[in-house]
């Protein structure tokens, strides 16, 4: 296929209408109004609260239960022997995570000696939401001014960051 073939050539889309009519504004329709509302502080708080609620609702039903059982055992061991003697009690074969995660599990061990799956997954859920918030802030700061006027970039950046469907675009 050559570079001049009709499949590879792109046609430029032009319009005789003024540029303001091509912009996405909060007054363009109910869906766009809702998306622009999500970009407000209250909209972002409600979007993150909904995301937290969905994750908490499905946390006990989904997950890698082998890993979660290991985490629960390690939390029980941390509760019984403490962080200082943890490696001696579990041996070298079962704990294969970096020591930083051990501190997270130690905090959970102080909360409960026999945690539920939801409690074991809760640090990961909070990490997902923190990552989405960071992506939204970075999208807002790095987007050029004309783009910020046309699109609600904070909500879009946060949603895109935590989307389960990944694409190479």
CB 139 within 8 A of CB 156: yes
Contact 39, 154 (CB under 8 A): yes
Cβ burial, residue 90 (10 Å; 0-12/13-18/19+): middle
Q: Which residue ranges make up each domain of the chain?
A: 28-161
Q: Is pLDDT above 80 for 150?
A: no
Q: For residue 82, what pLDDT is reported?
A: 85
According to the model, what pLDDT value does residue 57 have? 92
Residue 165, pLDDT > 60, answer no
Contacts of 43 (CB under 8 A, 6+ apart): 37, 155
Q: What is the DSSP string of 155-167?
A: HHHHHHHT-S---
**Is 47 within 8 Å of 155 (Cβ atoms)?**
yes
Mean pLDDT taken over the chain: 76
3-state SS class at 169: coil
What would the pLDDT profile of 21-73 be if each residue is shown by its tens digit? 444 555 567 877 777 777 788 888 888 898 899 989 988 888 888 888 888 88
105-117: pLDDT as tens digits: 889 998 888 888 8
Query: Does the pLDDT at position 98 exceed 80?
Result: no
* CA gap 62, 66 in Å, rounded: 12
Backbone φ, ψ for residue 9 (5° rounding): -75, 140
Q: At 48, list the tokens.
A: 């993150």
92 φψ region: left (φ > 0), alpha (ψ -120 to 50), beta (else): alpha
Is residue 72 within 8 A of residue 114, CB to CB? The reply is yes
Q: What is the pTM of this model?
A: 0.67
pLDDT of residue 61: 85
């Amino acid at each position: 296929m050559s570079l001049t073939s009709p499949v590879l050539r792109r046609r430029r889309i032009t319009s005789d209408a003024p540029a303001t009519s091509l912009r996405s504004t909060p007054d363009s329709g109910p869906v766009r109004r809702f998306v622009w509302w999500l970009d407000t502080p209250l909209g972002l708080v409600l979007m993150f609260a909904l995301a937290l609620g969905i994750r908490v609702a499905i946390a006990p039903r989904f997950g890698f239960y082998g890993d979660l059982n290991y985490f629960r055992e390690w939390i029980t061991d941390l509760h019984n022997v403490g962080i200082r003697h943890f490696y001696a009690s579990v041996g070298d074969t079962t704990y294969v995570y970096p020591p930083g995660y051990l501190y997270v599990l130690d905090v959970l061990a102080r909360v409960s000696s026999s945690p539920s799956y939801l409690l074991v997954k809760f640090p990961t859920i909070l990490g997902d939401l923190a990552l989405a918030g960071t992506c939204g802030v970075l999208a807002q700061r790095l987007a050029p001014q004309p783009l910020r006027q046309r699109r609600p970039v904070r909500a879009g950046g946060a949603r895109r960051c935590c989307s389960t469907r990944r694409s190479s675009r």
